[in-house]
Amino acid sequence: MIFGKIEYLNLLPFDIFMKRHTRSSQQLQSIHYKRGVPSSINKAFKTRRVNAAFISSIASSRCHCLDLGISAKKEVKSVLLIPGKNQIDNESATSNVLARVLGLEGEVIIGDKALKYYLQDNKNEAIDLSQRWFEKQKLPFVFARLCYHGKSTKYKKMSQKFLHTPKKIPQYILNISSRKTGISNKEILKYLQLIEYKLDPHAILSLKRFLRLAKKLK
């Protein structure tokens, strides 16, 4: 099985789970990873070069997906718009559309670089797009969903096991992630508290609303 892997901090708990799960599950011991940013993983999934991946919400409407994803109830700190600049983030798909749905113009930045920017005393000049969505819709925002090709059985089992597994980050992995991103261990842990992986009914409602509003832009 080839799994599309986005190496952002928001998926760090899932990456740790997968490493442990593949060691203990014969069914998934042959897993291989294709790494990339969200926009490239979307393309790889669409062309079936990966069997499963966290797909950007905007690209997931006609895919087989589970109630496992990446969402935030209010602020997220890693999906930002900087007013006054007309530039999009080529790594993103959903966030660029979200900015348009919200009627905002500026530079969209996502992922670890956005979180680092936010933490470097720039939070007052940047708009947190997840927070702005909540202010308008009173709903969490869903950035990505776990989608798959083929039979769902193994993916459902894997996702349920992840959702019921404590999200503990070993210290040595935190240290590695901190060196890689330039973000402190403490801030990484605070950031991960903002991320929701279980897509509850409110999240699903929000996703449907976003996709409906995005469709009207075309």
d(C-alpha 88, C-alpha 55), whole Å: 19
d(C-alpha 202, C-alpha 204), whole Å: 5
Q: Tell me, what's the pLDDT at 36?
A: 84
Q: Tell me, what's the pLDDT at 197?
A: 97
Q: Is residue 85 scored above 80 in pLDDT?
A: no
- Domains of the chain: residue spans and CATH: 2-217 (3.40.190.10)
Q: Tell me, what's the pLDDT at 30?
A: 60
The identity of residue 63, as a single letter, is C
Q: Tell me, what's the pLDDT at 29?
A: 53
Residue 37 pLDDT class (50, 70, 90 cuts): confident
Q: Tell me, what's the pLDDT at 98?
A: 95
Residue 23 pLDDT class (50, 70, 90 cuts): low
Q: Tell me, what's the pLDDT at 21?
A: 76
39-54: average pLDDT? 91
100-121: average pLDDT? 93
Residue 77 near residue 197, CB atoms below 8 Å: no
195-210: average pLDDT? 97
CA distances from 103 to 31, 83, 98, 116 (A): 41, 12, 9, 25
Q: Apex CA 143: angle with CA 131 and CA 6, to 5°?
A: 125
CA atoms within 13 A on the CB side of 42: 19
Q: Tell me, what's the pLDDT at 27?
A: 53
| pLDDT tens digits along 135-162 | 999 999 999 999 999 888 888 998 999 9
In the predicted model, what is the mean pLDDT of the chain?
90
The identity of residue 106, as a single letter, is G
| pLDDT tens digits along 62-84 | 899 999 999 999 999 999 999 98
180-186: average pLDDT? 96
- Quick one: angle between helices 171-181 and 185-192, nearest 10? 100
